Amino acid sequence: MSDHFDRIRDSFARQSFMQTLQVRLDHIGHGRCTLVAPVLPTTTQQHGAGHAGVTFTLGDVAAGYAALSVLPDGTEVMTAEIKINLLRPAMGELLEATGEVLKAGRRLVVVKSDIHAISGGKRALIATMLGTMVPVDP
Amino acid sequence: MSDHFDRIRDSFARQSFMQTLQVRLDHIGHGRCTLVAPVLPTTTQQHGAGHAGVTFTLGDVAAGYAALSVLPDGTEVMTAEIKINLLRPAMGELLEATGEVLKAGRRLVVVKSDIHAISGGKRALIATMLGTMVPVDP
Amino acid sequence: MSDHFDRIRDSFARQSFMQTLQVRLDHIGHGRCTLVAPVLPTTTQQHGAGHAGVTFTLGDVAAGYAALSVLPDGTEVMTAEIKINLLRPAMGELLEATGEVLKAGRRLVVVKSDIHAISGGKRALIATMLGTMVPVDP
Amino acid sequence: MSDHFDRIRDSFARQSFMQTLQVRLDHIGHGRCTLVAPVLPTTTQQHGAGHAGVTFTLGDVAAGYAALSVLPDGTEVMTAEIKINLLRPAMGELLEATGEVLKAGRRLVVVKSDIHAISGGKRALIATMLGTMVPVDP
């Protein structure tokens, strides 16, 4: 099992976009993954808040690794589709995304993600996502 | 009208994340916006394809400015929600996202986006999005 | 408050489709609504399970009244958009849908619904939904 | 091919809910399906318009048979997920839903549907849907 999580960490480390966004893999467990990233001067929208594209990216990647964590070792996973509802602007120093498996099937893994912004120690839910991951052979 | 489009170009230029992703505002017209961006070494996923988060970002921003283009000058727009179906990996040199207004209401603007990857001169549809923008006073 | 809930019950009673589907308003509280309906011989798909359209209808109506319950009296609510992920076939005698408010804003109310099938006393989650309700003046 | 379409017509005829809603399979072609249904006194919401659950059902079934039409004979199809954006109330005598395949893969078929209301000979787009069908062995 720890090997399985190691391979998830390796996969995460190979995503150059995660480094560009300075995302850290905070936690990976069975059916659950948490990522943390700063709101950077290079990742804002026109009013200085974190860009919705970053919020989406964090939620999508967290959900993808949550799905991967429940699949047999050696499988890979792709996002088939995912929907985001944006609840509040991404104001704060940090963003935290937690992905979770709702139903793991052989063909499809249904996932959700919640993304919080952390500002001065206060957490606010800024987005919630619902999507479908599809296991693929590498 | 050209003033209105100039203000859209200004808003676009203020998004630092657009510069980080090297996105260019290719076209803005009434109810329609096209963006173009390279697949960069800094924006890939674990297999070297363009990251789904970039695909999403392009489609979301294109849809947002398509919505803004049909709203009264001085209004701003926020993504309330948007869904992406990913059809193919983002393989290629360039990504092109076209956002379009499906229905402009007073409270909500329903939008779609199609995102193509361009590889060696060939275009392939890699994702399609359907969402809701909400007009807000700045 | 009980007046407010009475008006929700009145609105529910005016929906002829709720009678056609034999839906019962089981519970309405602040930000939460539960509906129950039988799987009828008249509401199945080609393999005899409950039709996905019924599952959707229950989840959508439960989410709509959950949203209405947190809005000022006299307001009405419309579904702007909603997404359903179907997890299992709707096998069983009864369907139970619970709608919940995730975020109540002035312009938009973000909602979720979970739909369970009950078969021989056992409950199974058959679908989950995420959507947006928009308050309107009647 | 006509055998394949005959089997689709058979499958449609076995859905009791289609009869309850008086839905007619108007057209089935490769990657495309059109359904027509009346707005009935038994299928309205609280203001007398057609119920959103009916609109959804028509769009979902049209999309499902559009997907089935491009799959090998003997396969069945299930909705994995689908999203609906409601654009206008379902006012009119008739509803017409057209489902279309956007991308047919081995594992997943991405589909869209548009639903129009027809009132006094005038057609209005009342909803648009984007979803994912999954081929299953019967």
Residue B4's pLDDT is what?
Answer: 86
Closest-CA distance of chain A to residue D118, Å: 30
Please report residues of B whose CB lies closer than 8 A to that of C132: 80-81, 132
Decide if pLDDT at D1 tops 60: no
**Sign of the dihedral defined by the CA atoms of residues D66, D70, D75, D77, in that order:** negative
d(CA B33, CA B23) in angstroms, rounded, equals 13
Mutate to test the interface with D, among C54, C83, C88 (most CBs of D within 10 A): C83
pLDDT band, residue A135 (cuts 50/70/90): very high
Pick from C52, C34, C130, C58: nearest CA to C91:
C52
Q: Which residues of C touch B132 (CB under 8 A)?
A: 80-81, 132
D95-110 pLDDT, tens digit each: 999 999 999 998 999 9
Q: What is the mean pLDDT of each run of 10 residues along chain C (138 residues)?
A: 85 95 98 98 93 98 98 93 98 97 96 97 97 91
Q: How many domains does chain A have?
A: 1
**Which pLDDT value is given to residue A103?**
98
Cβ contacts below 8 Å, chain B against chain C, sum to 17
What would the pLDDT profile of D41-69 be if each residue is shown by its tens digit? 999 999 989 999 999 999 999 999 999 99
The answer to whether the CB of C109 falls within 8 A of the CB of C64 is: no
Residues 6 or more apart whose CB falls under 8 angstroms from that of A33 comprise A8, A25, A27, A62, A63, A65, A66, A69, A98, A99
* Number of helical H runs and strand E runs in chain B: 3, 6
Residue C3 vs residue B128, higher pLDDT: B128
CATH number at residue A35: 3.10.129.10
The pLDDT value recorded for residue A74 is: 87
> Which of A17, A47, A79 lies at the smallest CB-CB distance from B42?
A17
Helix, strand, or coil (residue C120) = coil
Strand D76-86 to strand C76-86: parallel, antiparallel, or no bridges (unpaired)?
antiparallel
- Which helix or strand (DSSP H or E) is residue B76 part of? strand B76-86
Distance from CA of A43 to the nearest CA of C (A): 25
Residue-wise pLDDT for A112-130, tens only, equals: 999 999 999 999 999 999 9
Burial C85-116 (b: 16+ CB within 10 A, else e): bbbbbbebeebbbbbbbbbbeeebbbbbbbbb
| Closest CB from B125, B130, B132 relative to D130 | B130
pLDDT score, position A1 = 57
Mean model confidence pLDDT for chain A: 95
**Residue of B103, B111, B112, B114 to mutate for D, most D C-beta atoms under 10 A:** B103
Q: In the prediction, which pLDDT does D33 show?
A: 98
| Cα dihedral: C22, C23, C26, C28 (round 10) | -140
Give whole-number Cα distances, D4 to A26, D73, D132, in Å.
51, 6, 21
Domain that holds residue D7: 2-136
Which residues of chain D make contact with C53, given a CB cutoff of 8 A? 17, 53-54, 56-57, 60-61
For residues B124 and B89, is the Cβ–Cβ distance under 8 A?
Answer: no
Across the interface, of D42, D79, D82, the residue whose CB is closest to C16 is D42
Contact: B85, D130; criterion CB under 8 Å? yes
Nearest by CB to B132, which of D85, D88, D112?
D85
Report whether C124 contacts C88 (CB < 8 A). yes
**What ipTM, to 2 d.p.?**
0.96
- Interchain CB contacts (distance < 8 Å): A and B: 97
Gap between the Cα atoms of A115 and A125, Å rounded: 6
pLDDT computed for residue D3 by the predictor: 84
Please state, for a pLDDT cut of 90, what percent of chain B lies above it.
90
> CA angle at residue D96 from B131 to D34, to 5 degrees?
95
Q: State pLDDT tens for residues B23-78.
A: 999 999 999 999 999 999 999 999 989 999 999 999 999 999 999 999 998 899 99
Measured CA to CA, the distance from residue D79 to residue C133 in angstroms comes to 23
CA gap A110, A81 in Å, rounded = 10
Specify the pLDDT at position B74.
Answer: 87
CB–CB of A134 and D108 under 8 A? Answer: yes
Q: What is the Cα–Cα distance from B67 to B69, expressed in whole angstroms?
A: 5
Per CB-CB distance under 8 Å, the chain A contacts of B43 are 16-17, 20
8 Å CB contact between B99 and B63: yes
Is residue A30 scored above 80 in pLDDT? Answer: yes
Q: How many CB atoms lie within 10 A of CB A41?
A: 9
Q: Residues 6 or more apart from D83 whose CB is under 8 A from it?
A: A83, B83, B130, C81, C82, C83, C84, D129, D130, D131
Contact D73, D4 (CB under 8 A): yes
Do the bridges between strand B109-119 and strand A122-136 make them parallel or antiparallel, or are there none, so unpaired? unpaired
Nearest CA in chain B to A57: B53
Q: What is the dihedral of CA D73, D76, D79, D84, to 10 degrees?
A: 40
Which residues in C lie closer than 8 A to residue A80 (C-beta atoms)?
none
Across chain D, where does the E strand assignment appear?
24-29, 32-38, 76-86, 94-104, 109-119, 122-136
- Residues B69/B31, Cβ–Cβ less than 8 Å: yes
Tokens representing D16 are 């009791």
Average pLDDT of chain B? 95
